[in-house]
Amino acid sequence: MTREKLCISCGRVKPIDDYYTHPTNSDNHQRRCMECDKARQREYYIENKARIDRARKAWQKNNYDRHIEHCKKYVEKRRGEIICTRY
C-alpha cells in the first residue's frame, strides 16, 4: 500500500517517497514535495546569492585549516577536478 500526501506548494497528491523526511512532523515528512522544495531553495539562493557568497567566503577565511582539509578530501574524492584557493 502506497502512502500519499498533499503538497502545500503545488497542491498535488504525491507518493510519500516524493517528500523529504522531517522528524517533528506527525508523518515524519516535510509538507512540500521534493520538486517544490528544490525550486524554493533555488529561488532563495538566487535572491540571496551575494549574502550567501559573502558568508561562505568569510567562513572559509576564518576557518582556513578546516576549509583546506575539506578541499583536500574533495580533490581526493574527485581525482583532482578542482583546485582550492586561499580567500
| pLDDT exceeds cutoff 60 at 17 | yes
For 31-58, what is the mean pLDDT?
97
pLDDT of 36: 97
Q: Which residue has the cell 528544490?
A: 38
| pLDDT exceeds cutoff 90 at 40 | yes
Give the chain's mean pLDDT. 90
Nearest to 31 by CA among 6, 12, 13, 14: 6
Q: Are 31 and 7 in contact (CB under 8 A)?
A: yes
pLDDT of 13: 97
**Cell of residue 40, nine digits:** 524554493
